[in-house]
Structure 1
Amino acid sequence: MMTDLLKLTRDNYFSLEAQRQYMSVSQFKGFLPSYGGCEAQSMAKLAGEWEDSQKTAFDEGHFLHAWNEGTLPDFKANNPSIYSSQGPTKGQLKANFKHLTKLIEVLENDPKVMNALAGEKEVIMTASFHGIKWKIMIDSYNPEKATFSDLKGLQSIDKTFWNKESRAPESFIQHYGYDIQMAVYAEIERRATNNKEWLLPHLVVVTKETVPDHDIAFLSHENIPRALNIVANNIERVKAVKSGLVQPVRCEKCDYCKLDKKVMRIKEFSEFELY
């Protein structure tokens, strides 16, 4: 017997039940080794047997998003762990969160950034795509201007990553799959609103460097299909694993796999080369 899908709210959007019932971009990438994902770990998360240990990075992201949403005072009040509890800095924001206020100042002082981030905040939408329900949460939604934006905090804008699968360098956009995220958001928004055209996706990025850098990028309509094609080429495998039709593959590199990893064969030195 089919159960009704969970009605998503800001309170339950990141809940385990929401992850089980809906596909999201982060969950999709979590199944793909090319984006640092692992099928076995992803299934353990859905079973409630594993949680990511990167709480600090998660809280830092929510700090920035709370500012964008206009709820930063509430976030500070509801998250006492971001404050120092001892020593001469007791009662003050911990160093990493204090530094985030510098990032916010940089963003607030740039008119183009504030224009890009204008609109309705944290908008949740759902739609069917490739035969399953997807969920998205748009940071800044501005349909009147036919745009939407997502805010990201990064270590560096200029850092180059090496993709072992394609054996080629890539930017932070490809490395973290932000092109996929923006394309899927555009498609889900189009389906949810019955629009014929995609809104233009914008990415507002700010770095956590000592002197923060920042920039704005957009994904053109011409490049959205290319990013959606990555989803099309991988979604059937992801669906099959998530539904339990096929066994998940272990990556043997993530924390979940390393807990009980067993060496299956001895490798030759050259197998560890990066290029």
Structure 2
Amino acid sequence: MKLTKNNYYSQEANLHYMSVSQFKSYLPSYGGCEAGAMAVLHGEYVREPVEAFMEGHYLHAWNEGTLDDFRADNPELYASRGKTAGQLKANFQHCNKMIEVLENDPMVMKALAGQKEVIMTAELFGIKWKVMLDSYQPGILFADLKAMKEMDGKFWNSEMGVYENFIDHYGYNLQMAVYAEVEKLHAGRSEWLLPHMVVVTKQKPPDHEIIYFDFDDIEQGLYIVGKHIERVKAVKSGEVEPVRCERCEYCRSTKKITRIKHFSEFRLY
């Protein structure tokens, strides 16, 4: 299957390829659920759109140089009633502030230079993967652009029972590792390019950072993927039944009670 920007996120592409977001959607440690992931993959369940995703798309359209087209194609970005009718909604006006912060930082613009939205595929761990690099400078670096609520918070991982930073919590270390390996194979080199993340926050005023990952980080990320990939492959292929988490949107919407619980099962420790 040949991937384009028009079909990259399609159900057909997700059936044919593994992606980092799809991989994480199977793992409870990243808030995933096997049953929910399979239901989404086969079109049996559609997740409700989240406005934060649209804000991310807004930012990526700016990086790609297509922001004017994106605004024209998405009238829901604009208020339709009251005194602000016809104006960008407040959260997207704030996205413009985030963009302004990035545009005014020369090092950020240097990191985000190069080719945009570059699609690559490769076989890792016996399965085909797809990636899309936000900004790509062949032979030099690639960068991923992230919009975050904040960077300095701590995030509870209920599966592991520990607090994490935002990179570990959202699996961005895995994402950068897979991207680095796919890019290396695609380019036919023996060494990885160093992945970079450009992060801008939704705080007022926005904060921002450029974060890089070294070779040890890539090896560790690929190790984590390798530790879980056989189970994910078996579930995706239908060889084994997916496990329900009973906490995600899909499980809540399809839940049937099979036993009555004792109140002590709801204790935190």
Partner of 2:13: 18
Asked if 1:261 is matched to 2:255, the reply is: yes
Counterpart AA for 1:44:
A
Partner of 1:3: none
SS at match of 1:28: helix
Q: Distance in 1 between matches of 2:167 and 2:98?
A: 20
Asked if 1:183 is matched to 2:177, the reply is: yes
Q: Distance in 2 between matches of 1:61 and 1:267?
A: 42
Q: 1:170 pairs with 164, 169, 186, which one?
A: 164
Partner of 2:123: 128
Of residues 50-59 and 171-180 in structure 1, the stretch that sits farther from structure 2 once superposed is 50-59
1:107-156: CA deviations, max 9, x gaps?
A: 11111111111110000000011111100000000124x21000000011
Partner of 2:99: 104
Partner of 2:61: 66
Q: Is the 8 A contact 2:28 2:159 kept in 1?
A: no
Q: Distance in 2 between matches of 1:251 and 1:272?
A: 18
Q: Distance in 2 between matches of 1:27 and 1:272?
A: 31
Partner of 1:206: 200
Counterpart AA for 1:81:
E
Counterpart AA for 1:178:
Y
Q: 1:41 to 1:165 in 2, by over 3 A?
A: closer
Counterpart AA for 1:65:
H
SS at match of 2:216: coil
1:179-258 matched pairs, under 5 angstroms: 179-258=173-252
Q: 1:79 pairs with 74, 95, 101, which one?
A: 74
Asked if 1:30 is matched to 2:25, the reply is: yes
SS at match of 1:158: coil
SS at match of 1:222: helix
Normalising by structure 1, report the TM-score.
0.94
Q: 1:268 to 1:107 in 2, by over 3 A?
A: same
1:27-48: CA deviations, max 9, x gaps?
A: 0000001000011111111111
Q: Distance in 2 between matches of 1:234 and 1:268?
A: 33
Q: Is the 8 A contact 2:29 2:160 kept in 1?
A: no
In structure 1, stretches of 5+ residues that fail to align are 1-5
Partner of 2:145: 151
SS at match of 2:22: helix
Displacement of 1:269: 3.7
Identity %: 59
Q: Distance in 2 between matches of 1:162 and 1:269?
A: 22
Counterpart AA for 2:254:
D
Displacement of 1:96: 1.1
Q: Distance in 2 between matches of 1:61 and 1:159?
A: 19
Q: 1:57 pairs with 46, 52, 58, which one?
A: 52
SS at match of 1:93: coil
Displacement of 1:14: 0.5
Counterpart AA for 2:31:
G
Q: Distance in 2 between matches of 1:149 and 1:247?
A: 37
1:205-245: CA deviations, max 9, x gaps?
A: 11111211111111111221111111000000000000011
Counterpart AA for 1:197:
E
Displacement of 1:164: 2.8
SS at match of 1:256: helix
Q: 1:209 to 1:128 in 2, by over 3 A?
A: same
Of residues 47-56 and 249-258 in structure 1, the stretch that sits farther from structure 2 once superposed is 47-56
In structure 2, stretches of 5+ residues that fail to align are none
Of residues 133-142 and 41-50 in structure 1, the stretch that sits farther from structure 2 once superposed is 41-50
Q: Is the 8 A contact 2:148 2:201 kept in 1?
A: yes
